[in-house]
């Protein structure tokens, strides 16, 4: 089944992995709603790049950590388009600290943006998908199951995201909505530069059996597959895109 003419919302798609996903979906004829939080120029550039692929683009500002802003975003989508086919829950933020320094503010900030946003966006998206079915795909990281330095809150938020993916997949199945997550190892984006700076990530190309780091496009390719009808029977899963890093941890330990 062709995805031509469908409508996708990609949260946090002004740059990085979200942008790569927006462009991949656009290349398949899908119209894209680009959500951003702080950097409008990036979002507008993504919109121009999306339009250059021959589909329509809409830019909406919303902090997905704020329930009111999520409601405003979906009200806008409802008013302008009246429907939605695909939700990509990509936007994320986080505070990198050792356990001893985690406070309630840092915990809530990270959990609200990374985990609660999926719940609230999925609730609203499901209403716009009523009678037509849909796809919901989130982006997680290996930190949901492996311990990374100073990554506690983000790792826990991603674990919650993956658990919520399973519950949504079952509860939304009667509405013909497929829900899955893609979990990546380190991907070269602005976020990773931050983690390098904070000493949270090291050059992982040597730890990747595939021989290079994961690129945003590698993640986007799997997201696009999960949005296709070929992936109809994949439900509630977290698909790992890491070039073999996680299964090769012990084999690579001596490198
Ligand atoms: N990079 C990696 O190594 C890696 C690895 C595994 C998983 N991931 C996951 O992949 C996803 C994208 O990561 P990335 O590396 O592309 O990140 P990034 O380069 O830091 O970009 C983050 C994007 O999210 C948006 N955003 C942040 N907070 C937001 C909020 N409260 N509301 C709405 N949008 C918000 C930003 O928009 P503005 O710029 O407008 O604020 C930006 O477009 C995240 O879920 C991340 O956890 C990344």
Domains of the chain, earliest start first: 7-253 (3.40.50.720)
| pLDDT tens, N- to C-terminus, the chain (255 residues) | 579 999 999 999 999 999 999 999 999 999 999 999 999 999 999 999 999 999 999 999 999 999 999 999 999 999 999 999 999 999 999 999 999 999 999 999 999 999 999 999 999 999 999 999 999 999 999 999 999 999 999 999 999 999 999 999 999 999 999 999 999 999 988 877 766 565 545 566 777 899 999 999 999 999 999 999 999 999 999 999 999 999 987 776 666
Kindly state if the Cβ of 180 falls inside 6 Å of ligand 1.
no
Ligand 1 atom with the shortest distance to the CA of 13: 43
Q: What is the residue-averaged pLDDT of the chain? A: 94
The answer, yes or no, to whether any atom of ligand 1 lies below 6 A from the CB of 93, is yes
Query: Using alpha carbons only, what angle is made at residue 181 by residues 180 and 182, rounded to the nearest 5 degrees?
Result: 135
CA 7 to ligand 1 centroid distance, Å: 21
Instruction: Give the residue numbers annotated as catalytic, written as ranges.
Output: 151, 158
What ligand 1 atom has the least distance to the C-alpha of 14? 43
Interval between CA 255 and ligand 1 midpoint (Å): 30
**Beta-strand runs (E) in the chain:** 7-10, 31-36, 57-61, 86-89, 134-141, 177-184, 238-241
Q: Would you state the pLDDT for residue 23? A: 98
151 lines ligand 1 (CB under 6 A): no
CB 23 within 8 A of CB 52: no
For residue 90 and ligand 1, the question of a CB distance below 6 A is answered with yes
Please check whether residue 109 is in contact with residue 159, taking contact to mean a CB–CB distance below 8 angstroms.
no
Sequence-ordered list of residues with C-beta below 8 angstroms from that of 86, at least 6 positions apart, any chain: 6, 7, 8, 9, 25, 30, 134, 135, 136, 137, 227
Cβ neighbours around 119 below 10 Å, total: 17
Q: What is the pTM of this model?
A: 0.96
Residue 145 in contact with ligand 1 by CB distance below 6 A = no
Q: Whose Cα sits closest to atom 11 in ligand 1?
A: 90
Closest C-alpha to ligand 1, atom 30:
63
Q: Is the CB of 113 inside a 6 Å radius of any atom of ligand 1?
A: yes
Whether the CB-CB separation of 115 and 109 falls below 8 Å is answered with no
């Amino acid at each position: 089944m062709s995805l031509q003419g469908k409508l996708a919302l990609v949260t946090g798609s002004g740059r990085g992995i979200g942008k790569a996903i927006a462009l991949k979906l656009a290349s398949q004829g899908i119209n894209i709603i680009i959500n951003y939080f702080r950097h409008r120029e990036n979002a507008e550039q993504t919109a121009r790049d999306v339009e250059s692929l021959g589909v329509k683009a809409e830019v909406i500002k919303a902090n997905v950590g704020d329930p009111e802003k999520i409601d405003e975003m979906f009200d806008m989508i409802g008013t302008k388009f009246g429907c939605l086919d695909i939700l990509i829950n990509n936007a994320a933020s986080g505070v990198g600290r050792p356990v001893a320094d985690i406070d309630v503010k840092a915990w809530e900030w990270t959990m609200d943006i990374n985990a609660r946003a999926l719940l609230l966006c999925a609730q609203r998206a499901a209403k716009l998908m009523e009678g037509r079915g849909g796809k919901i795909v989130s982006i997680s990281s290996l930190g949901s199951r492996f311990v990374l330095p100073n990554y506690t809150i983000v790792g826990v938020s991603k674990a919650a995201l993956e658990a919520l993916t399973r519950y949504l997949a079952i509860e939304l199945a009667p509405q013909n909505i497929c829900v899955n997550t893609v979990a990546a190892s380190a991907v070269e984006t602005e976020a990773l530069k931050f983690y390098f700076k904070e000493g949270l990530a090291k050059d992982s190309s040597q730890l990747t059996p595939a021989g290079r780091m994961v690129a945003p496009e590698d993640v986007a390719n799997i997201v696009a597959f999960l949005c296709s009808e070929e992936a109809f029977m994949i439900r509630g899963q977290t698909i790992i895109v890491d070039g073999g890093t996680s299964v090769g941890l012990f084999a690579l330990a001596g490198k």
